[in-house]
């Protein structure tokens, strides 16, 4: 099979297209012909050698996210058969419950090989059926960004109709968070540094979009928009550069799901606003298979469609990474495997 690998993570040009022997499924594993994959911010910092969790394994096949069809199953597999349309879970060994070291050690496109390949072997317990109405390209958008947004809003935020949700920027996680918040009947305030994207966020149901470049004290704007109360749930993807303002933009007793580091890692955190405002601040790492399945049921029931910015051919994977790096995208950057 053909696959892209990262012999040493020194930038996008270190990606190499190589031939590897076709893999075969072991017991309780499925072999998937990957039809599409998608990129996340993590994939960019992985190829650039800046992923903080751990150095990727040598000759890593990158990308956590992919969808395709089952072509063979190993012994003992009961949930899948050849022909099924599936996606892999970000963590291959986290079917449910609380996260643990074994789950973290099974993260695709980092700790273990990922989906930027023609074929992939997945754990039966780390695989889900795709929502019926989605294409492979749309399905490939789900495993990291969508499950993360679902975890933040539903599991951590306990979102309900009438809540106000703050989403930051127009990347993969934030757009899914906007879509899910609307699906639950919540109101959405978004931030964005791009005017044209702000219009698109409004068209998707954000009732206000604040430009974080021209309004650096956007937390005050959020306070005004919510009558001084603040939002119920903040989907925090900015990290060090946004967290202090997220504390102030979130209502007393509100919840903040700490997800990302778009403004870079490392900062001193002042605990006072957390204490004074009685905030619930919870970090998260994507989500488990049960969350993925619950999310897929909601996606199917509401015929929700992931927002795909651009689809690149398999051979042009490097261009997909460059597009992601440019931050011109709105939603997901996808690779079609043919």
Ligand X SMILES: NC(=O)c1ccc[n+]([C@@H]2O[C@H](COP(=O)([O-])OP(=O)(O)OC[C@H]3O[C@@H](n4cnc5c(N)ncnc54)[C@H](OP(=O)(O)O)[C@@H]3O)[C@@H](O)[C@H]2O)c1
Binding site for ligand X (CB under 6 A): 40-42, 144-145, 148, 168-174, 191-194, 197, 212, 237-238, 241-242, 259-263, 284-286, 324, 327
Reading the block at residue 306, the tokens are: 């992931």
Nearer Cβ to ligand X, position 71 or 104?
Answer: 104
The partner residues of 117 in beta bridges, in order of sequence, read: 3
User: Least distance in Å: CB of 314 to ligand X?
Assistant: 20
Query: Which residue from 95, 15, 106 is spatially nearest to 335, judged by alpha carbons?
Result: 15
Nearer Cβ to ligand X, position 31 or 299?
Answer: 299
User: Least distance in Å: CB of 192 to ligand X?
Assistant: 3
Q: What residue is closest to ligand X based on CB? A: 171
Helical (H) or strand (E) element with 65: strand 65-73
Name the DSSP letter for residue 271: S
Q: Concatenated DSSP letters for 124-187?
A: GGGEEEPPTT--HHHHTTIIIIIHHHHIIIIIIS---TT-EEEEESSSHHHHHHHHHHHHTT-E
Nearer Cβ to ligand X, position 191 or 234?
Answer: 191
Give the separation between CA 186 and CA 180, rounded to whole angstroms: 9
Question: Could you tell me if 137 and 34 are in contact, meaning their C-beta atoms sit under 8 angstroms apart?
Answer: no
User: Least distance in Å: CB of 238 to ligand X?
Assistant: 4
User: Least distance in Å: CB of 242 to ligand X?
Assistant: 5
Nearer Cβ to ligand X, position 259 or 317?
Answer: 259
Nearer Cβ to ligand X, position 160 or 213?
Answer: 213
Give the separation between CA 203 and CA 191, rounded to whole angstroms: 14
3-state secondary structure of 101: helix
User: Least distance in Å: CB of 300 to ligand X?
Assistant: 22
User: Least distance in Å: CB of 333 to ligand X?
Assistant: 8
User: Least distance in Å: CB of 283 to ligand X?
Assistant: 7
Nearer Cβ to ligand X, position 40 or 226?
Answer: 40
Query: Which residue from 326, 324, 313 is spatially nearest to 37, judged by alpha carbons?
Result: 313
Its sign, for the CA torsion 182, 99, 324, 241, is: positive
Nearer Cβ to ligand X, position 67 or 173?
Answer: 173
Question: Could you tell me if 306 and 141 are in contact, meaning their C-beta atoms sit under 8 angstroms apart?
Answer: yes
Nearer Cβ to ligand X, position 88 or 171?
Answer: 171
Give the separation between CA 23 and CA 26, rounded to whole angstroms: 9
Question: Could you tell me if 108 and 90 are in contact, meaning their C-beta atoms sit under 8 angstroms apart?
Answer: yes
User: Least distance in Å: CB of 191 to ligand X?
Assistant: 5
């Amino acid at each position: 099979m053909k696959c892209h690998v990262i012999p040493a993570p020194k930038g996008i040009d270190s990606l190499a297209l190589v031939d590897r022997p076709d893999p075969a499924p072991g017991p309780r594993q499925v072999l998937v012909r990957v039809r599409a994959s998608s990129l996340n911010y993590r994939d960019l910092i992985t190829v650039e050698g800046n992923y903080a969790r751990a150095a990727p394994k040598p000759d890593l096949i990158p990308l956590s996210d992919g969808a395709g069809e089952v072509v063979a199953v190993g012994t003992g597999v009961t949930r899948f058969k050849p022909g099924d349309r599936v996606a892999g879970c970000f963590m291959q060994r986290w079917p449910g419950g609380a996260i643990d070291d074994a789950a973290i050690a099974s993260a695709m496109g980092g700790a273990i090989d990922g989906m930027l390949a023609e074929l992939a072997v997945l754990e039966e317990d780390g695989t889900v059926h795709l929502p019926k109405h989605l294409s492979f390209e749309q399905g490939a958008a789900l495993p990291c960004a969508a499950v993360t947004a679902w975890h933040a809003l539903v599991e951590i935020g306990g979102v309900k109709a009438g809540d106000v949700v703050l989403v930051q920027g127009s990347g993969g996680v934030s757009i899914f968070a906007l879509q899910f918040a609307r699906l639950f009947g919540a109101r959405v305030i978004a931030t964005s540094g791009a005017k044209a994207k702000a219009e698109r966020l409004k068209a998707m149901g954000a009732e206000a979009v604040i430009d974080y470049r021209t309004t650096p004290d956007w937390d005050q704007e959020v306070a005004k928009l919510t009558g001084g109360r603040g939002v119920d749930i903040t989907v925090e993807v900015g990290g060090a550069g946004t967290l202090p303002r997220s504390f102030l933009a979130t209502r007393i007793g509100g919840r903040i799901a700490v997800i990302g580091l778009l403004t870079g890692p490392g900062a001193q955190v002042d605990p006072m606003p957390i204490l004074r405002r009685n905030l619930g601040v919870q970090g998260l790492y994507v989500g488990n298979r049960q969350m993925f399945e619950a999310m897929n049921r909601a996606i199917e029931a509401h015929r929700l469609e992931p927002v795909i910015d651009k689809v690149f051919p398999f051979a042009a994977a490097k261009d997909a990474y460059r597009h992601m790096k440019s931050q011109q995208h709105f939603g997901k950057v996808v690779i079609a495997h043919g």
